[in-house]
Structure 1
């Protein structure tokens, strides 16, 4: 039962990023995304991933690896979209 709780918790926290990635891809609206929050979160997740690797806990490692990839997708999409918008503004001036 304890393992099941851990698996469900890891699944929920990992897939929680999927709707954000999909929303950004669909709308290209990144105005509400805080890069500092995602940067801090991604750093923490990366450290959890490293921790899981170092203690050889593959459940911790892989859950955080997937979360890390999804959080990086949000960061990457946000930066790309903001740079694209900035270029459009410069060209209009």
Structure 2
């Protein structure tokens, strides 16, 4: 059964995950990462990874789903940053 808390969690996860999509598209299109902070993306990758582990530990699917997808997007940006320095 989906609770109101789950719905709010999925909505929050969708919005915060979607926030990274324009950056991924921009980097893939332009192959330019000069204005992207390497330090910020390393820190956010670790933070999102920890949120994903936390979500798995507490059994929260909204947290797991949002952070799994966000981690993929952030790692794509980080990989492109390292590749196109």
Give the alignment's TM-score, normalised by structure 1: 0.81
What is the CA RMSD across the aligned residues, in angstroms?
1.2
Rg comparison, structure with higher value: 1
For residues 29-88 of structure 1, the C-alpha deviation after alignment (integer angstroms, 9 at most, x for no partner) is 111100100111110100000000011112211110100110000000111111xxxxxx
Assess if the C-alpha contact under 8 Å between 2:9 and 2:63 holds in 1. no
- Rate the CA distance shift 1:57–1:6 in 2: closer, same or farther, 3 A: closer
Between the two proteins, the alignment pairs up a number of residues equal to 82
Give the alignment's TM-score, normalised by structure 2: 0.88
CA distance in 2, matches of 1:29, 1:77: 8
Aligned to 1:35: 38
Alignment of 1:37-52 (within 5 A): 37-52=40-55
Higher RCO (C-alpha under 8 Å, 6+ residues apart): 2
Q: Which runs of 5+ in 1 are unaligned?
A: 83-93
Match of 2:84 among 69, 81, 85: 81
Match of 2:67 among 64, 67, 75: 64
Aligned to 2:7: 4
